[in-house]
Every structure is written in C-alpha cells, then in structure tokens.
Amino acid sequence: MSGLLTDLYELTMAAGYAAAGRLDDRAVFEFSIRRLPRNRGYVVVAGIEQAAAYLENLCFSAEEIAWLRKLPQFARAPEVYFDWLRDFRFRGDVDAVQEGTVLFAGEPVLTVRAALGEAQIPETALLATVTFQTLVATKAARLVDAAAGRAVVEFGTRRAHTPDAGVLGARAAYIGGCFGTSNALAGYRFRLPVFGTAAHSWMLAFPSEGDAFHALQNLLGPHTVQLVDTYDTLEGVRLAASLGRPLWGIRLDSGDFAELAVAARRILDEAGLKDVRIMVSGDLDEWKIRDLVLAGAPVDSFGVGTELATSGDAPSMGSIYKLVEIESGGRRRPTAKSSQEKKSLPGAKQIFRFPDHDVIGLAEEPCPKGAAPLLHPLLRDGRRVAHPPPLDIVRMACREGVAKLPAPYRAFDQAAVYPVQHSPALQRLTDETLRRRQ
Amino acid sequence: MSGLLTDLYELTMAAGYAAAGRLDDRAVFEFSIRRLPRNRGYVVVAGIEQAAAYLENLCFSAEEIAWLRKLPQFARAPEVYFDWLRDFRFRGDVDAVQEGTVLFAGEPVLTVRAALGEAQIPETALLATVTFQTLVATKAARLVDAAAGRAVVEFGTRRAHTPDAGVLGARAAYIGGCFGTSNALAGYRFRLPVFGTAAHSWMLAFPSEGDAFHALQNLLGPHTVQLVDTYDTLEGVRLAASLGRPLWGIRLDSGDFAELAVAARRILDEAGLKDVRIMVSGDLDEWKIRDLVLAGAPVDSFGVGTELATSGDAPSMGSIYKLVEIESGGRRRPTAKSSQEKKSLPGAKQIFRFPDHDVIGLAEEPCPKGAAPLLHPLLRDGRRVAHPPPLDIVRMACREGVAKLPAPYRAFDQAAVYPVQHSPALQRLTDETLRRRQ
C-alpha cells in the first residue's frame, strides 16, 4: 500500500527527524478515542485486521519518492531521507485490542512501538481505518440491541463513502452483530452471509406486478422475498399472498411500517402463510426499530442502509494517535499534551478489565487480580504474530460484551458514563510529566 | 474492478433477466438526487470520473463466478447467466453532467442506456461513488463560500470513511473550491496542491518547544507553519515570533479562535512579522468560519477536516438510480414508481439550464432558446468519448456556478428552493405513465 496515503505533515516530520538524525529514536504512539460520539455509551472496535494489513504492506514506489522530492516542502530534506523512504518497511511492534471488543472514552485501542519515523507515517491511515469501522460496528451493535432478537441485515453500500467503504462497513456491521449484508463482495471476501432478492426496478421491468412476482418466485424459490410497495403496498401483499408458496417473505420499503406490518401479517395469515416473514427496510435507525419492537409490530427482520453504513447520527469520532513516549540519546521520556482542551496521558498503557469497571494502567504494570488485560500483541518486528479469529467468533464475543453492559451504558440517548479509572502508577506518571513542563 | 462490488439483488435480478431471456432488453436508468440533504440549497456534482472508470473496468473473475454459483440464491439460475457473467463488460451509453456542476433536487445526474443486465449491476457502486464525492464537493463549496476569499485547505483524511475515501474526498473538496489538501496520495494522483508541516507529536518529540520550532524552520524554511498550541498558545506565538523569519505562518488548533487570532496578530505585528499568516484548524465548519469572518478575526486560511471529509452535518443524501424506460419485444415503455412517498418520473431526460431557473425535459426534446443542456455524452459503447477537463478548470467552473446563485439558495440554513420546472412533454409522459398503472 502506498506510503503516500497519509497527511503530508507525517512525511515532512519524518524528513525533519532524518535531518536531526533521529529517524531511529524509539517512539511509542497510542491510538485512543478521546471522546465518544454523541449518544454513545460505548464503542465496538473493528478494523484492526485492515490496520495490520496496511502496516505489513506499507512502502513507497520510486515514482512516489520522485514526486515528493519535487515538492517545495522537501527542498531542504537530506538525501538520507529519500534513501530511507526507498527502503521503508514498518518493522515495529503493535499491541491492539481484539476486534469486537467493547471500549470506552479515553481507552487505548492500539499501541505502536517503533522507530520514530516508522511510527509517525502510519498515523493518518490507522486513524481512518479503525475509526470508520469502529463507528459502523458500534452502530450495528445498537441496531441489533434495538431489534431485540430479530435479525438486522446491512443494506448500506450505496450510501457508504465510496463502494470500498461499503465492503469494509459490511464487515464491521457483521462484527457488531448484523446477520449478514447485501454487499456481494463483502460476502465473497470475508465469507459473510449475503442477502438480496429484487429492487423496484425489477417490478418496473415487467408489464405487471404479478409478472414480476411470478418471475422472482421461479428464480428464487424458497428464498423469494417479494417487494410489495412499488404501486399499492397492501395490494402488493395480497398479490404475493395469492401466489402462495414458495415464499420466504415480503419486504415493506416505505409507508407506516407499524400499520402496514399488522395489515400485511393479517393478509398473510388469512392466506395460510403464517410462516412467511415480514422484512422492513427504508430509513431505519435504532430509535425507529425500538419503537416498532415496542409497538409489537409483527416484523421479523430489518434491513438497515444509510444510517448503518455512514453511522448517520455520528459519522465521525474524536480518535487520536499521540506520541506517549520517546527515547532519544539513550534517555526515555514520557510525553503528553498539556494544552487546556486537549490533554493527553503519557506512557505506554494497558487496559485492565474488571467485571464492573476498567482501569487504565501502564503497560509494564502486572495485571491486577480479577482483571483481564485487553491489549494483545498484533505485530512484532512488523509481522503478524497471531492469526485473527474467524469473524463469527469475533461477532459472538462482541454480542456477549455488549449484552454484559448494564442498560444505562447501552442507552440510545444520554448513555451513562462507564467507570474507567486510572491506576496510581499512571496517575503518578501523568502528574510528573505535566509538572516537568511547567 | 470486481463486479461483485454491488448489492446481491442486482446479481439475482440479472439472473432473473437471464432466465426470462431478457438480459439484452434495452433499458434506461437514471441517477438523480431525490432530496437534497438538510440545509442544502444546491449540490456540486463530483465523482463522475470515478464512475466512468468503474464502468470501463467492470468484470467478474472465474473465482467470483464460482462463489456466486454456490449461493442458494443462484441454485435455479440458468447456465447462460454464468456465461454472461464470464464475458461481462459494460457496453452501454452514459450521459452525465460535468463534474463541478451545480444541481438541484430531482435533477438527473447521469443516464445509463444499456442492455438491462448491464445497466442493473452498476447501480450500487455508481450511487456510492457519485453520492459521496458530491456530498464532499458540496460541503467544500459551502466552506469556501463562508471563508469569503480566504483559503480553505482540506485536512480530513483521518476522519474519512477509510483512507481511500480520504483520497477521493480530497479530490471532491478541490472541485468544490478548496485550495488544496493535506492528503499526499491525492496530491500525487490528481496533481492537487498539498500542504502540511508538523503535528503535535513533532512538538512533543523535542525536549522543548523552542527546539521543535527551530528544527522545523531549518527543514521548511519559508514554508514553515508553527503549530503553537501544544502547551500555552500565546507563549507559543511569542516563541515563534522571537525566532522570526523564515516563517510562512502560525497555526492555531484549539481554543477561542476569534480571541487568539487577534492576540496572535498583535504579537506577530509587534515583532515586525506583518506578512506572517495565521491559519486556524480544529473542528471548523461553515457556520464557525462565517462567524470568524464576520467578527473580523485576522485569519488568513482555514484547515477543515472532520466536517469536510464526512460531510458531517449531512453524511448521506437521497440519491436514486431508477429504471425510467424499458424496451422489450420491440415495445418501448416508460416506467415510474407510483408509491405514495417515492414517486419517480419516467423517460430519459435532459436538464435545460436558463439563467434563473432550470427545466427538466425529455432527452429527445430540442434545447429551448436561451438555455444550455447539462447532460453530455460520457461513454459510448462502454468507452470514454471525451477526455475530462483538468481539475483546475472543473474547480473554477464550480466556483463560477456557485457564485452565480443568488444568496438565498446558498444559505447555510433553510436555503430557498431553486425553481426547477418540468417541461410540458415530461409532464404529459408522467401523467400517461401513471394513468396506465391505475
């Protein structure tokens, strides 16, 4: 992957470290989530696999280096810098939480220990990769929570920020608990369950709705889902019911779902199609799904697109990648920002998870009794040290992690703040580091 | 590009068309924006180039076809379908508006005329590609409007939904009027101006702020921008001022920008650095930029990340890709959805732009006097028919298009609805098509 896929300042800083003879200073950078998005009491981490693949494949082509050389920002960069770019490989160590892990504000997601230049350049791509998938996995967890046992299928590629984001979003949504996706490439690449039958254009391509329904049944047999709202929704349901089996279900894609689902259920039941399902799609979010479930609407599964693929109510999140320790000339020094709004905590850290709270401590602290550490080795010397668990396992672990959270932390609005403490050792280091600056 | 990068239902529908012997029916699909996002009076179209490249390169690998074959949805698909996938190439005709064009709700962005199967499969990727870039170009146009002549630089890759979305977002932001981007790969690939100097980690990597500032000056000379808010912001400004030239500017990244900019300006001026610029970044949007400009804050340029890269206040948009005409067995038939909430207009269309309003007519209508047609040939028989204009030209055309709009349509909140009429011929066809359905 192109080393240029980063902010230019990562590359100018690396040139500056080259000029200062400091490219090989040992640095520790920490990826953490400074603030949770609005309405979020937790996040579900995803994208760690793509982050690892990125780090393993990062390099610069000769043509890319030639382009950089001509930029005015690099007019004074030393020759050793361009040599370094030519031979660039990420050779550092990375610890990370497992995908599907539930995390809270301020907690480290990933720690990079590497030569200063090698650790600096990946900042931008690591942030974009992990933040986006984490947003979608988190949104999926909320939707699945709202659906209270009914299936939620990811339908959002067309609304994703590029088609490729749709593929990775489908993966993240699966981690967060979705039942599957409409994205065929995500299904192929990540072996996810894929779903999809027909769109309105299918209905319009036939002279009548009956012709369209009939053709779909011939094609899909027991997998048939009839989309009933192209013309008149309840007429569509009656038509689907009159054609009878094979029929997996019907899909409502517009209108008042609570009313239509009740009416559709009655029509299907009266036709002896009690096991035929009702799927609902169209501008759904966790609030609407919860309301439908609470109203007792006879809906069997939900297809969610826009809101899931873009994490619509919270399309971004304050994730950061900060230098927390540097070793230069044999001297190790923890670092922290002390500006009023954006304080950061120094040192390489570990999360110790207790049953009812988390403690952020220093990486070198022993794990306290009754707690489990959440950051595990991901890369050593730039290479994967562990095979990732299958996504089904990741997804199940995520569901368990979310289900364990007491309801106030899972609230869709104004979620309670989960108790996250700092260990005495971390607190001491923070005080010392900031005092040193004053 | 993988043909699987689509919703599965596009592929099941194509299988159904194969089963019905209708893959080669001639179809016309239309990409349009049903509703503008909240707070938007117009959009700026971008992403057409990526849409064209996608269509030119679309295909299915043998392994992908083998995977599809095993899905239960394709158990009854005819063999001719898999042969068709193997030989798949998009061979249709596409008309589209030029990138940088200002459009309004209901207007067609792109029209696809192709064999039914070939036109169906690209739906998902076309929507994701053009909608995302259009959202970002539109947001950029608003930010640039707010900045009233000051430069706006795109800084958002780390917040983009995947790093690759950051590259395309940078391109779209440039089309919308941004001065450049921090994304190095976007600069390399699309020859955009790139900017970037140093982050907080640079400041923390040196024993003191003075050492960090000094090292940056040595590296960047007249391109130096000192980031002054790592510790105490105004102390940082004084330090930068005391080091003097070479110095392009300082960057404020947190705090009360209106106050800090005034104080920083005074410090710089008193040090005889009247030409040294003040750049502001950190959680900016069009409202905050407007307020700073109206307050007379001495800010020379703005760096915008999160809100731009994600179109934060409107991360999605109701764009649609609908079948508007089908020719089957020698009979041409316009099509439209008549469901209550989601009506669509039949027939292949053209936009006729008059100086103070638009008329949507049928593609076959002659262009009325005093108007210019906005949809132009993009692909013929699946191949590009025109080279795209350079992005600088696209960007300038966009600035002119936006500047021409009266202020009420450019309002950041509750923008007025631009007058878009339907030609009598389109109105007649719509009435006839819907009547035929009743």
DSSP string, B308-353: HHTTTT----EEEEEEEEEEETTEEEE-----SS-----S-EEEEE
Q: Which of A192-196, A357-361, B219-223, B340-344 is the least confident region? A: B340-344
Summarize the confidence of residues B34-52 as an average pLDDT.
Answer: 96
- For residue B415, tell me if it sits in a domain: yes
Question: B160 and B296: one domain?
Answer: yes
The residue type at B245: R
Q: Taking the alpha carbons of A8, A10, A11, A12 in that order, is the dihedral positive or negative?
A: positive
Query: What pLDDT score was predicted for residue B337?
Result: 75
The percentage of residues in chain B with a pLDDT greater than 90, rounded to a whole number, is: 94
Residue that finishes a domain, picked among B265, B294, B309: B309
pLDDT band at residue A103, thresholds of 50, 70 and 90?
Answer: very high
The residue type at A301: S
SS3 A293: helix
Instruction: Check CB contact under 8 Å for B9 and A182.
Output: yes
The DSSP symbol for B305 reads: -
Separation between Cα atoms, residue B65 and residue A248, nearest integer Å: 25
Query: What pLDDT score was predicted for residue B335?
Result: 92
Separation between Cα atoms, residue A54 and residue B176, nearest integer Å: 30
Query: What pLDDT score was predicted for residue B436?
Result: 79
More confident residue, B231 or B337: B231
Question: B214 and B328: one domain?
Answer: no
Q: Distance, in angstroms, between A271 CA and closest chain B CA?
A: 24
- Asked whether A175 and A99 are in contact (CB, 8 A), the reply is yes
Helix axes B123-147, A163-175, angle to 10 degrees: 100
- For residue A181, tell me if it sits in a domain: no
Q: How many CB atoms lie within 10 A of CB A26?
A: 15
- For residue B84, tell me if it sits in a domain: yes
Query: What pLDDT score was predicted for residue B307?
Result: 98
Question: B172 and B191: one domain?
Answer: yes
Q: How far is CA B430 from CA A200, B3, B421, in A?
A: 17, 33, 13
Separation between Cα atoms, residue A396 and residue B322, nearest integer Å: 38
Query: What pLDDT score was predicted for residue B330?
Result: 87
Six token digits for residue A139: 């949104």
A276: domain CATH number is 3.20.20.70
Query: What pLDDT score was predicted for residue A330?
Result: 87
Q: Distance, in angstroms, between A372 CA and closest chain B CA?
A: 30
Residue that finishes a domain, picked among B287, B309, B331: B309
Question: B49 and B170: one domain?
Answer: no
Can the peptide bond before residue B246 be classed as cis, meaning omega within 30 degrees of 0?
yes
Question: B182 and B280: one domain?
Answer: yes
Question: A277 and A328: one domain?
Answer: no
Six token digits for residue A362: 């220093």
From start to end of A55-137, where are the E strands? 93-96, 102-103, 108-115
Question: B258 and B181: one domain?
Answer: yes
Query: What pLDDT score was predicted for residue A216?
Result: 97
Size of interface A-B (CB pairs under 8 A): 335
Average pLDDT for chain B: 96
Average pLDDT for chain A: 96
In chain B, residues with a C-beta closer than 8 Å to the C-beta of A55 are none
Separation between Cα atoms, residue A293 and residue A286, nearest integer Å: 10
- Asked whether A343 and A318 are in contact (CB, 8 A), the reply is no
Comparing CA positions, the residue from A428, A268, A412 lying closest to residue A345 is A428
Q: How far is CA B183 from CA A10, B76, B159, B189, in A?
A: 10, 48, 12, 10
- For residue B1, tell me if it sits in a domain: no
Summarize the confidence of residues A255-284 as an average pLDDT.
Answer: 98
Comparing CA positions, the residue from A184, A193, A54 lying closest to residue A132 is A54
Query: What pLDDT score was predicted for residue A356?
Result: 97
- Asked whether A335 and A323 are in contact (CB, 8 A), the reply is yes
SS3 A225: strand
- For residue A122, tell me if it sits in a domain: yes
Residue A438 pLDDT exceeds 60: no
Q: How far is CA B254 from CA A342, B233, B276, B428, in A?
A: 8, 9, 19, 57
pLDDT band at residue A342, thresholds of 50, 70 and 90?
Answer: low
Residue B138 pLDDT exceeds 70: yes
Query: Is any Cβ of chain A less than 8 angstroms from the Cβ of B388?
Result: no
Summarize the confidence of residues A363-371 as an average pLDDT.
Answer: 97
Summarize the confidence of residues A364-377 as an average pLDDT.
Answer: 97
List the 136-155 stretch of A: residues with Cβ below 8 A of B.
155
pLDDT band at residue B340, thresholds of 50, 70 and 90?
Answer: low
What residue numbers bound the domain in which A342 lies?
8-135+316-437
Summarize the confidence of residues B394-407 as an average pLDDT.
Answer: 97
For residue B144, the surrounding DSSP H or E stretch is helix B123-147
Count: domains in chain B: 2
Separation between Cα atoms, residue B56 and residue B75, nearest integer Å: 29
Query: Is any Cβ of chain B less than 8 angstroms from the Cβ of A405?
Result: no
Residue that finishes a domain, picked among B278, B309, B340: B309
Residue of chain A whose alpha carbon sits nearest to that of B218: A76
Residue B127 pLDDT exceeds 60: yes
Residue A336 pLDDT exceeds 90: no
- Choose among A163, A198, A323: nearest Cβ to B12: A198
Query: What pLDDT score was predicted for residue B387?
Result: 85
Question: B369 and B420: one domain?
Answer: yes
- Cα A107 to the chain's mean position, in Å? 16
Residues B259-282: pLDDT tens digits?
Answer: 999 999 999 999 999 999 999 999
SS3 B130: helix
Query: What pLDDT score was predicted for residue A434?
Result: 86
In chain B, residues with a C-beta closer than 8 Å to the C-beta of A212 are none
Query: Is any Cβ of chain A less than 8 angstroms from the Cβ of B214?
Result: no
Question: B163 and B304: one domain?
Answer: yes
- For residue B140, tell me if it sits in a domain: no
What are residue A33's phi and psi, to 5 degrees? Answer: -110, 105
Query: What pLDDT score was predicted for residue B61?
Result: 98
Summarize the confidence of residues B330-349 as an average pLDDT.
Answer: 83
Question: A36 and A86: one domain?
Answer: yes
Question: B275 and B170: one domain?
Answer: yes
Summarize the confidence of residues B181-201 as an average pLDDT.
Answer: 97
| ipTM summary value | 0.97
SS3 A227: strand
Question: B198 and B217: one domain?
Answer: yes
Residue A27 pLDDT exceeds 80: yes
Query: What pLDDT score was predicted for residue B343?
Result: 72
- For residue B405, tell me if it sits in a domain: yes
Separation between Cα atoms, residue B160 and residue B157, nearest integer Å: 5
B40: domain CATH number is 3.20.140.10
Six token digits for residue A60: 């610069």
Residue A302 pLDDT exceeds 70: yes
- For residue A143, tell me if it sits in a domain: no
Separation between Cα atoms, residue B193 and residue A215, nearest integer Å: 54
SS3 A421: strand
Query: What pLDDT score was predicted for residue A172?
Result: 98
Instruction: Check CB contact under 8 Å for B8 and A183.
Output: yes
Query: What pLDDT score was predicted for residue B315?
Result: 98
The percentage of residues in chain B with a pLDDT greater than 70, rounded to a whole number, is: 98
